[in-house]
Structure 1
Amino acid sequence: MRSEPFLLTIMPRWLAAYVELSRLYEPLFVLIIYLPILAGLFHGALVAHPQITPEILLQCVFNWLPLSLLWEAFACIVNDIVDQHLDRKVERTRNRPIARGSISTHQGCTFAALVSLMILTLSSQILPSFSFLYFFLTTLGCIIYAFSKRFTSYAQAVVGLVHAVVSLLASYSVGFDAFSAPRNVLISSLSLVVAVFFLVTTYEFIYAYQDMEEDIKFGMKSMAVKYGYSGRAVLLAFSIIYGGLLILSGMAGALGQNYFSGAVCSIVTVFLSASLVDLKSPQSCSQCFLYGFVAGSATLASGLLAEYAF
């Protein structure tokens, strides 16, 4: 029997179905979106000259939270619409709202359109110069990802690319322009952006192992399907590249011990995740994705914030 989170049980059934579809009752999924954005924010505020004031930074921190919630919601809605026929055949996903029939495809599309409109409206307030770029990246990126699993083995890299570019846009939202900065600061910024790409891609790669057997059965593609259980070597390589990029970012930006303390904790977290996750266990992959991703990105963001503050 399917167990429901307490929050969903106290809502009207129709409302609970939409909250479940958007995954807004699962805060860790929102943090997966939000924390890499915070890393971009904190880095931009840190290396900008003159340095961004705490008031501006705090305002941006608050502004990006609802955008992250909406982005997460849109991604989940689109994915469930596109994958509904496959979801009905997979034990882990067959009870999702659209798959089980609690929400129709038409209702799901209407909900997705409403959320996308909210993203555009809010981003125009937070990123007036880049609102359409952010809207394009997040909405089109989610749609491309949902369909790309049928055509390419690197759908997880698509997610990583979108996260990386959004982390760069986050730094712009505090008033920092990486491409107008001195060369060493530009290197620091771009190194962090590429590091975010490898961070996200690593954990999305791990997450894909949950459904590897079903994906093979139904002809879906992913990095997990492509590399199989030899994918650990790729994961370890990604974690090493990630570590090198964070070190390069810190050295190029002349960042101090607070940054490097957070960066080292993040590097160790990602490396241990790649080393210790049981790729044959869906539960292990799910827990590693959630807790490892949050820990790795939180320690990075914390190190950047500490360097800014102290």
Structure 2
Amino acid sequence: MTHVALKFPLYLQLIRWDKPVGTLLLLWPTLAALWLAAGGFPGWHLIAVFTLGTFLMRSAGCAVNDVADRDIDRHVKRTAQRPVTSGALPAREALAVAAVLALLAFVLVLTTNTVTVLWSFGALAVSIAYPYTKRFFSMPQAVLGVAFSFGIPMAFAAVQGEVPALAWWLLLGNLCWVVAYDTEYAMVDRDDDLKIGIRTSAITFGRFDVAAVMLLYAAYLAIWGHVGWQLGLGWPCAIGLMAGAAQVLWHYRLIRERDRDGCFRAFRANHWVGLAVGLGMVLGLTSHGT
């Protein structure tokens, strides 16, 4: 117990406790999917399961990522002082933390239904595989996009016991959004990644990186907007989409010169895009229901 108490600040650093942006990027589309799946308020039980589960799985993913990238991160100034990379926390201990967090998330999933439990195994597998795809796949951000979108089909499975076509459209749109904002993130470390030999979407897109990010944002807004239109979510959804589009235009100004600080600032602000679009759909659903 004394050992755990002494290491607790390192555990918090490992799971990015002080950087909740990643959790919010996962949470907003997942909660929006819950509302859409339920056709309204999904109940406190499912809200608690998916909110806590999102936090736990994102934290576990950070721990696994740091172990997988420990030899890479020491060559990148931004990540060199992470607990595993710096040697402050053994890799085995970080994996133990990840296992405990994933187990807690699984316990939460067990309170839903069999379909959701089965989907959770896929979510875990993709989350573990993602860090290693940087070694051989030219677009690892797409794998992250799948991992960060798993909450959508799981939300529909938890509410409806199945995953309808609507969920797949939302997943596709969300995947485009994830690749867009994680490419902004990759643009921050592009010079370091080129030296190390890591593959990222920022490197793959090359001089078309900014254009690709904007097109991916447009695809995300178009797909989610089409879903909102199909469901008749009206003006609240339209306002949410316009608020999201306005932020995307601001992001263009931040990343067009490929300045590291601007790209990182754009990445960190992305949860506001997800909140605007998701909240617009939820409010549109509530308005439609009344």
- After TM superposition, the score normalised by the length of structure 2 is 0.90
Pick from 9, 25, 29 the counterpart of residue 16 of structure 1.
Answer: 9
| Cα distance, 1:127 vs structure 2 | 4.4
Partner of 2:276: 299
Pick from 118, 124, 134 the counterpart of residue 104 of structure 2.
Answer: 118
Matched to 1:70, the amino acid is L
What's the C-alpha RMSD, in Å, of the aligned pairs?
2.1
1:222 aligns with 2:217: no
Query: Aligned with 1:164: secondary structure?
Result: coil
Q: How does 1:164-179 map to 2 (within 5 A)?
A: 164-175=149-160, 177=162, 179=164
Would the alpha carbon gap of residues 83 and 204 (structure 1) be closer, same or farther in structure 2, given more than 3 Å must change?
A: same
Would the alpha carbon gap of residues 107 and 33 (structure 1) be closer, same or farther in structure 2, given more than 3 Å must change?
A: same
| Cα distance, 1:189 vs structure 2 | 4.2
Contact 1:206 1:279 in 2 (8 A): no
Partners of 1:261 and 1:152 lie apart in 2 by: 37
Structure 1 window deviating more from structure 2 (192-201 vs 215-224): it is 192-201
Pick from 27, 38, 43 the counterpart of residue 34 of structure 1.
Answer: 27
Partner of 1:63: 49
Would the alpha carbon gap of residues 267 and 59 (structure 1) be closer, same or farther in structure 2, given more than 3 Å must change?
A: farther
Partner of 1:92: 78
Matched to 2:61, the amino acid is A
Deviations 1:212-268 (A, max 9, x none): 111110111001111224211111211222232123212222221112211222233
Matched to 1:43, the amino acid is L
Q: How does 1:105-184 map to 2 (within 5 A)?
A: 105-137=91-123, 139-175=124-160, 177=162, 179=164
1:76 aligns with 2:62: yes
Matched to 2:241, the amino acid is A
Contact 1:22 1:74 in 2 (8 A): yes
Partners of 2:209 and 2:265 lie apart in 1 by: 18
Structure 1 window deviating more from structure 2 (77-86 vs 158-167): it is 158-167
1:288 aligns with 2:266: yes
Deviations 1:76-95 (A, max 9, x none): 10110011111112211111
Query: Aligned with 1:254: secondary structure?
Result: coil
Would the alpha carbon gap of residues 98 and 241 (structure 1) be closer, same or farther in structure 2, given more than 3 Å must change?
A: same
| Cα distance, 1:105 vs structure 2 | 1.3
Q: Count residues in correspondence.
A: 284
| Cα distance, 1:271 vs structure 2 | 4.2
Structure 1 window deviating more from structure 2 (189-198 vs 154-163): it is 189-198
- Aligned-residue sequence identity (percent) comes to 22
| Cα distance, 1:12 vs structure 2 | 5.2
Would the alpha carbon gap of residues 194 and 102 (structure 1) be closer, same or farther in structure 2, given more than 3 Å must change?
A: same
- After TM superposition, the score normalised by the length of structure 1 is 0.84
Partners of 2:243 and 2:153 lie apart in 1 by: 22
Partner of 1:3: none
Pick from 154, 173, 181 the counterpart of residue 195 of structure 1.
Answer: 173
Contact 2:210 2:256 in 1 (8 A): no
Query: Aligned with 1:125: secondary structure?
Result: coil
Query: Aligned with 1:25: secondary structure?
Result: coil
| Cα distance, 1:170 vs structure 2 | 1.2
